[in-house]
Structure 1
Amino acid sequence: MQPIFTMQYGEFAVADYLSKKIKGTSVFIPASAQEKGIDLLLYRYDNGCNKANTIQVKMSRTYYNDKEDSGYPFYLWFNRFPVQQNANWYILVGIYAKYSDDVKNAGAKSTKWDTIMLAFTNKEMLQFMSEVKQRRDPTKDDKMFGFGFDSSKAIFQTRGCPENRDMSCYLIEKRIDEITHSFI
């Protein structure tokens, strides 16, 4: 019998990104999908000590908006979720197609895929989830939250908050040094 192993694309994208950006680390994947709160383990052996970060990955498909006057061309939507205590980091992932500016001649060859990721510490995610409120009634929790963006350099929370707010400081590119130095 041949072994079969599969994983969600979001988890693969995070594992691939972290293994390329943080030298001297390995990414482990739990063999059991039943492990609550942990999708990946980022591991480093440092000065005779085993050090690790546990990572929870959440992924959204990308929703496209082709109306030029309505905000952002790309949107991510997530269901509200409980924050697990055993996850050191939460990484929210979206994959989207960047099309050629030449729409008439755009085809499969002119489509480039890109990934956008937001990284939150456990404490930050707890705070974020406590702030996910309905726009029409900010005293009530919203069951979803979402983000709008037009490139991988800036992203804004568009649902689950009273008004759009810049979340670009949570882009994984801007947090990689913090992740690198956060091993316990």
Structure 2
Amino acid sequence: MDPQLVSWASRLAESELSGTLPRRWAHTLGVANRATELQHILGADAELLVAAATLHDIGYAPRLALTGFHPLDGARFLRDEHGADERLVRLVANHSFALLEAEERGIRNVLEEEFPLLGEPWLVDALVYCDMTTSPEGERMTANDRVAEIINRYEETGPVGRFIRRAAPHVSAAVARIEAALAAQPR
């Protein structure tokens, strides 16, 4: 893994999000901070997780939002314009149960074909944990509160509203697995 990966990811996300979407940038910084807190349980994949956490919402950037589905837009940008590491791109594409939202949008097959789910559930769970325990302002919050915040922010019958209700038990399970791993670590 390139030792400059996290630095590159941070510069890229900042350039795409900080000026146009400052609240999304604050969330991104919080998610990246959560990822750095997991470094001791991730070993060799710690840098990859921090980079994915930093880039997970880059597809919201106005100039990149081509389909309106940020995981797909972000992953395509990273792959096509930057030739980013395949594992990184697949984590961004599939973060926080994106396949379920893609299904609600009628594009699950597109996401699955272009960016198959990474066969490393530990890393997938870790990114879910980082994203779903961080508020839109970048502050720490429980996964249950985060799900409730998303439910309140989006129309119930829209794709995000439908998706988050379906994803909630999966989010809780992924966060619980990471929290158990953290609790098992010696202090």
TM-score by length of 2: 0.31
Return the structure number with greater relative CO, CA threshold 8 A, min gap 6: 2
Q: Which has the higher strand share?
A: 1
Q: Which has the larger radius of gyration?
A: 1
More helix by share: 2
Normalised to the residue count of structure 1, the TM-score between the two structures is 0.31
